Amino acid sequence: MPLFALPFPMIDPVLVSVGPFAIRWYALAYIGGLLIGWTYARRLARDEALWNGRPRPDEETLDDLLVYAALGIILGGRIGYVLFYNLPYYLERPAEALMVWQGGMSFHGGLAGCFLALIWVARSRGLPILSLADTAAAVAPIGLFLGRIANFINGELWGRKTDVPWAVEFPTGGFLPRHPSQLYEATLEGLVLGVLLLVLIRAGGLKRPGFITGAFGMGYGTARIICEFYREPDPQIGFLFGGATMGMLLSVPLIVLGGWLVLRSRRAVAVGA
């Protein structure tokens, strides 16, 4: 064990409280991720040179996506958590499955909900699904980065016990020195993946339908699996088999599907694909 560990900064998870109403950092992370991502998406869509004549979303389409994606992320994230991470508990207490404010969200579930919302918006607007998916994938790391920072502020989803010199003692983790795995995820899933997608976009990635979506799936899935080696698994599930965690298993299909989309994009015709 380390001779010392960094104390948890004890940031109040509630930013502002007025009577019974409270504004939490976690909620701000969701709102900030959606709004900053929406702004960035509009900027990408306006740059015709990035698309090389491909159909691309207009500002009204992105306005619609902002609303439906928010609903998809919240509902999908909650449903995913109930199904993948705590189903026996909620089968006994079905009413609590609706209590989102009590915590418990799944990224993979939120991703599925967001994708269903994306399909709805694309079809209602007569836009190719991959055009909208590539736009959404390009901005997704923004929300991932902010969300993981909020996880750290909340002192949740902490890492496994360790003796590294930057270990943090989380109060909810028994004041044991642990990996700050939330910051690892913010770095890999947010910063690194976001920069990688930006480089690919500048190299012409949006001109190939599905390429950016596929790169996001492969990048996120790989980053999540790496971080799962340092993150403490949910206590109600623990390790599944061979040291695998639920987060790892749910990330494998993303890598496979992402790889298929990247390969497909190499054969796709730029216009009308």
At residue 44, the pLDDT reads: 96
**Least confident segment among 135-144, 210-219, 221-230, 262-271:** 262-271
**Average pLDDT estimate for 136-162:** 94
pLDDT average, residue stretch 202-228: 96
For residue 25, is pLDDT > 90?
Answer: no
Q: What is the pairing mode between strands 14-18 and 177-178?
A: unpaired
pLDDT, residue 125, reads: 93
Among 139, 192, 143, 111, CA closest to 26 = 143
SS3 content of the chain, % helix, strand, coil (to 5): 65, 5, 30
Statement: residue 12 has pLDDT above 80 = no
Share of the chain above pLDDT 70, in %: 95
Give the chain's mean pLDDT. 90
- pLDDT band at residue 4 using 50, 70 and 90 as cut-offs: low
Q: Answer whether 66's CB lies under 8 Å from 38's CB.
A: yes
Query: What is the bridge-based pairing of β-strands 14-18 and 21-24?
Result: antiparallel
Domain extent listing, the chain = 24-267
Residue with tokens 């950092």: 25
pLDDT per position as a tens digit, 157-209: 999 999 999 999 999 888 899 999 999 999 999 999 999 999 999 999 999 99
| pTM of the entire predicted model | 0.90
For residue 97, what pLDDT is reported? 83
